[in-house]
Amino acid sequence: MTPYWASVSDFLAMGGYGLYVWGSFGVTALALAMELAALRARRRQLEDEA
Amino acid sequence: MTRINWFYYAAPARFYGLAGKLVPWCAAAAVVLGLWGLWIGLVVAPTDFQQRDSYRIIFIHVPASWMSMVLYVAMAFWSAIGLIFNARLAAMLAQAIAPTGALMTFLSLWTGALWGKPTWGTWWVWDARLTSELLLLFLYIGYMSLRAAIDDERRADRASAVLAIVGVVNVPIIYFSVQWWNTLHQGASVSVSKAPTMAAIMLQGMLVMALAMWAYAFAVVFARVRLIIREREQGAAWVRELRPAGALP
């Protein structure tokens, strides 16, 4: 379970594939966060009506 | 041996409480598994000798793709139960699954495009696997649009259930597309790596991420079905009795 990377900058560069790797993981994180925010907004609306 | 009476929870009022108890456990499992899987996939796993570090997209792409299909089958299953038994809760579950399924399908296509560019040299190709997955996204969108277009909830349940059930034939087409047609997309990915020592840690990362996605999907679907129950049962006495408590649990 030791890190594969020699440094943080190596990790961020992803061997030159940073755009593709971080583009995948970043958009996934954003999409899940948006879904959770939408659920929260829907709950708020229900609470306001109540 | 005690027998569980599954019909007990078929009442939305009872399932509402059960789902509320399950959400935090599923959410906690999703967070723990997600962090563990990301640690393995992004930090611990070595690079791939052929695809270099672009292969790390697999840790999102495969779990999201699996979920896109699993959630569709679940949506079609609950739609069928809802139609056959005229069960409200089953229809509500199908309704709750659709947005998350659509999201997983989008993520499958998005990460696939970002993986295709460095490995195939193109973001998109009209290959059988990619095209059938795009059709899956349209099925989810069609399902949600159809629901939204019908004011009467019970009629919306029935109409969208028919669409969901008809569309389920697309799932085996997606799954077997890489065998049935000569596709640019690779075959089953669980045995993708050549080097056995690397395969173990990569496989572990992928399975942990898949479990994290399952847990996330359960948490979100249970949370959403609770909101749907409240929205649709607003006239019911038990929902009105929740109101003095103020904030929803």
Residues forming beta bridges with residue B48, ordered by sequence position: B52
> Is there a domain that residue B131 lies in?
yes
Q: What is the pLDDT of residue B146?
A: 97
> Is there a domain that residue B120 lies in?
yes
Segment 1-50 of chain A within 8 Å of chain B by CB: 1-5, 11, 14-17, 19-21, 23-25, 27-28, 31-32, 35-36, 39, 42-43, 46-47, 50
Kindly report the CATH number assigned to the domain that includes residue B217: 1.20.120
Q: What is the pLDDT of residue A6?
A: 85
Q: 């069960």: which residue's tokens? A: B87
> Is there a domain that residue B141 lies in?
yes
B114 touches chain A (CB under 8 A): yes
> Is there a domain that residue B246 lies in?
no
DSSP B168-216: TTHHHHHHHHHHHS--SS-S-GGG--S-HHHHHHHHHHHHHHHHHHHHH
The mean pLDDT of A4-19, rounded to a whole number, is 89
Q: What is the pLDDT of residue B246?
A: 46
> Is there a domain that residue B244 lies in?
no
Q: What is the pLDDT of residue B13?
A: 86
Task: List the single residue in A with minimal CA-CA distance to B204.
Answer: A1
> Is there a domain that residue B92 lies in?
yes
**Tally of structural domains, chain B:** 1
Segments forming the whole domain that contains residue B70: 22-44+51-234
Q: What is the pLDDT of residue B192?
A: 47
- C-alpha–C-alpha distance, residues A10 and A27, integer Å: 21
* Contact (CB<8Å) B42/A15: no
* Contact (CB<8Å) A3/B54: no
Distance separating the N- and C-terminal Cα atoms of chain B: 33
B49 touches chain A (CB under 8 A): no
* Contact (CB<8Å) A20/B110: no
> Is there a domain that residue B183 lies in?
yes
- For residue A21, give the nearest of B56, B110, B216 by CB distance: B56
- For residue A47, give the nearest of B57, B107, B248 by CB distance: B248
DSSP B7-62: GGGGSHHHHHHHHHHHHHHHHHHHHHHHHHHHIIIIIISPPBTTTBGGGGGHHHHH
Per-residue pLDDT of chain B (249 residues; tens, 9 = 90+): 566 676 778 888 889 999 999 999 999 999 999 999 999 999 998 888 888 889 999 999 999 999 999 999 999 999 999 999 999 999 999 999 999 999 999 999 999 999 999 999 999 999 999 999 999 999 999 999 999 999 999 999 999 999 999 999 999 999 989 888 877 887 765 644 444 444 788 889 999 999 999 999 999 999 999 999 999 988 788 887 775 444 455
| Residue A50 distance to chain B (closest CA, Å) | 6
Task: List the single residue in A with minimal CA-CA distance to B49.
Answer: A15
User: B198: phi > 0 → left, psi -120 to 50 → alpha, else beta; which?
Assistant: alpha
> Is there a domain that residue B9 lies in?
no
